[in-house]
Amino acid sequence: MLYNTIYSIGLIAIAGLIAFFIGKRMAAKPGTKSKTTTFLMKSIQAIAELAVLEYRTEGITEIKEENLLFY
């Protein structure tokens, strides 16, 4: 009885693993990135870099203005 149960569970596990690997092979491979996606990512990165540059420049300008007020 116990042997039959263990045997059945083992067969189910092996069948599940085989089905998993067959399904993984048959699944569609992910395609390459489209040119539009690459272009959008580069555009977003450029805008983010400009925003950071503007933030840094604004901070430097505020520090210089504060120093001028003390003189």
d(CA 65, CA 54): 16
Question: Per the structure, how many domains does the chain have?
Answer: 1
pLDDT value for 31: 65
Tokens of 41: 């990512």
Domain range for residue 30?
2-70
Mean pLDDT for the chain overall: 81
**Dmax (CA) of the chain:** 94
Where is pLDDT greater, at 47 or 55? 47
pLDDT value for 69: 62
- The answer on pLDDT for 52 being more than 70 is yes
The owner of tokens 């067969």 is 11
Write the pLDDT tens digit of every residue in 10-44. 899 999 999 998 888 888 776 666 777 888 889 99
